[in-house]
Structure 1
Amino acid sequence: MSLLSDKSHRRYNPLLGEWVLVSPHRGKRPWQGQQEAPASNAAASYDDKCYLCPGNTRITGDTNPAYTGTYVFQNDFPALQNEGDSSADELREPDPLFHYRAVTGESRVICFSPDHSKSLPQLSCAEIVGVINTWTTQMAELAQHYQWVQVFENKGAVMGCSNPHPHGQIWAQNQLPTEAAKIDANLKAYQLKYDNNLLLDYVARELESGERLVDVNDDWVTLVPFWACWPFELMLLPRFKVEDFGQLSTAQKASLAEILKASLSRYDNLFQCSFPYSMGWRTAPFNAENNQHWQLHAVFFPPLLRSASVKKFMVGYEMLAEAQRDITPEQAAQRLRDCSTTHYLES
């Protein structure tokens, strides 16, 4: 990829069927724009004003139990509601300009730990396994009623997180959302054309190349994808065939916890701050169909570009034309590999 290291070019994302403009020469331009306040890891283990800490009362008046591991509750302000007639719109002729569809679902919050001060990379591997087990049980429960179950985390105020207590969310709905529908179609098309799984083929190629890898163990890989959009975007992929969390063994969950702790520690170490991101798991839909074309994986979209205070803005060209990035995925992967897997606050 040396020919692409300093010339503008476009890269294709086969999951979404979209292109990304890469402009590595722009990294040299001076920055005089907005700077964010760096997110600090320094916090107390308990905050009596936090709505998510154990024993505290939330805005609704409900009181959190004195939980000691993970804690899950129905979102007090859910984006999806489980009442309503999801077939109501199917009874009328769709209007090509004003077409709508009713949707039902649920929104839940997952507190990773009772400790207000510890984000995922600061938890022990055993505690991260506890988070993975919670993802697994929650998805299995919601999959009984909904076609798509989205586990995600918005970390940091810069990514819209409204509460600093380390937590994630899980939204379930009765239809495939837009991104999932695109990925489903592209994975299926690849399977039909090449008689193989796109992401298994992709992992094999990345392991062979090595230039975008960040962390590797016997079961999992983290890498900056070839088509990455965000500056230090990561993808976490299994090295074995698996469609959802329910198929993971105890050993595979343990190795997943290890690589999550290592790679997310590199994130925090990059700019010596609590590294913000939006992350999410993508699993096969729960629709009773043959989903062999699917492969479990996670993506991390962090906004920081040059430092703990300078972020990447998706505006202008990105909103009107297509995604654009200033450093190559290979350069980003090298910078992350250069970071330690031991969290800087533990050094």
Structure 2
Amino acid sequence: MFAEETFVRNANSIEQIREKLWIPQRHPHVGGIELTPFCNLRCVHCYLQDQEKHKLLSTQEIKLIIDKLFDAGVLFLYFTGGEIFTRLDFLEIYIYAKKKGFIVELLTNGTLIETKAIEIFNMYPPASISISIYGKDEESYFRVTGQNGMYDKVINTLNLLSQNSIHFEIKYIGMKENQEDYPAIYSLAERYGAEFSYSMELFPTLNGNGCTKNHMISLEKIVEIESKIPGKKEEFKRLSEIPNSFINQKEVPLYLCDMAISNFLVDYQGYLNPCHKCRFKKWNMLLDDFNTAWDDYESLLKEKTSKNNRCMKCKYLMMCSPCVVVNFLSTGDYNMPSDTICKLTHLRVDMCNSIE
């Protein structure tokens, strides 16, 4: 213990502590709480759209879960949904988490943030507010969300956050309904000096319903958009040249990400899950001990890929980094990626190899 305390005192960053101490020890330091499956929007791509919705946890029950996460040594906490601001008690929950000392991030569509929330954020600043942007104007927003007036609400939120120097990031969620909007949304982020990211790969609902794929931009269009992003070709080229170190290994872990190592999600019913896609109705934080559940999930890390797992034989594995849970939701097999993922990866390889 003394050596660990000395290392922590001398570490240059939390990232260094994470890589050298927390990851090797499976210390759960990044957790999410899904406060609700309900949302004020009806987005065509939502992976929760066909979920059976049960009674929400009470304010006190969520506080109890927050206490358990605090006792387990969790540092980073994010709140997600559904839409977190549909809960009338959200700000009370948020303040409670901040007072406990968590570094808090909020995931939101940004349409319900009003003056009262801004006042709270000024007193208890979030580390970041990640706002998903669904279009460049009201028409795009309506095609995605089925609701009128949402674009103006989001712009009002961005203005409020910017005027109060509250950190936020903008994430473009690309789909057929807004596939021409990338440049405008990137410019929006630049205008506010906000961090920007994007996602154009839609995965099935948590029930494995592929209806979301009906709204995914064509693979050729995705690559066309990415080819115009400065530095993207070079980035893909670097990734494509990283060797697949698993090709000649006899046994390869099935899960190659941080799930059940550092990350987890508590769903809106209180169940602890290894990540936001991998859901189990096994350990409930209202009744069960966090450490007991966390220790149990270590067994997932012992699962191995099958000999027929084609990803482990692919030279572009490190470029693609397939999610085995998405594999299962898409094909019914953890070891079998969807053809969409493979085709998109190879189109990206072709694109980055076209660098002059």
TM range (shorter): under 0.3
TM-score in terms of structure 1 length: 0.24
Going by fraction, where is strand more abundant, 1 or 2? 1
TM-score (norm: length of structure 2):
0.23
Greater relative contact order structure (CA < 8 Å, 6+ sep): 1
